[in-house]
Amino acid sequence: MHAEILKAKLEKFGHKHPVSALSMINLAGCMRVLGELEPAQKLYQEAASLQAELFGPTHPNTLTASNHCAVCLDMMGSSEAEALYLEVLGGREAVLGHRHPDTLQTVSSLN
């Protein structure tokens, strides 16, 4: 269902639209829950890149998509996960502060 929604959003709004990025994140979340980690990670990465282009690399939405990507990498046992978590953590600390729940979530993922 989320794949169909993403297809419809891409057709209506095009690839470079916030609604399309959100639909990518929703589909990737479903894929992650189903254990389809590699395609989920790639879709999260695509959404994070799109959001960075639309909003900037330290926008909270970009950082959230990047954090989801790091979670997938971590679940796959990839050594790239820690570096991405640290990048997200730096952005979240700078933008949201050290005590924000999203920042603390990333800290927790690093432990």
Name every residue whose Cβ is closer than 8 Å to that of residue 45 and which is 6 or more positions away in sequence.
69
Window from 1-5, 27-31, 39-43 with minimum mean pLDDT = 1-5
CATH number at residue 72: 1.25.40.10
The tokens for 46 are 């695509």
- Nearest-angstrom CA–CA distance, 44 and 108: 20
From the centroid of its chain, how far is CA 44?
5
Contact 32, 72 (CB under 8 A): yes
Helix and strand counts by DSSP (H, E) for the chain? 6, 0
Average pLDDT of 82-108?
A: 97
10: pLDDT strictly greater than 80: no
What's the burial of 34, exposed, middle or buried (CB within 10 Å: 0-12/13-18/19+)? exposed
Average pLDDT of 35-55?
A: 95
Amino acid of residue 56: G
Total domains in the chain come to 1
When pLDDT is cut at 50, 70 and 90, the band that residue 6 belongs to is low
84: pLDDT strictly greater than 80: yes
8: pLDDT strictly greater than 80: no
99: pLDDT strictly greater than 90: yes
Domain that holds residue 85: 2-110
Q: What is the predicted pLDDT for the residue at 111?
A: 84
Q: Is 35 left (phi over 0), alpha (psi -120 to 50) or beta?
A: left
Q: What is the predicted pLDDT for the residue at 22?
A: 87
Average pLDDT of 50-72?
A: 96
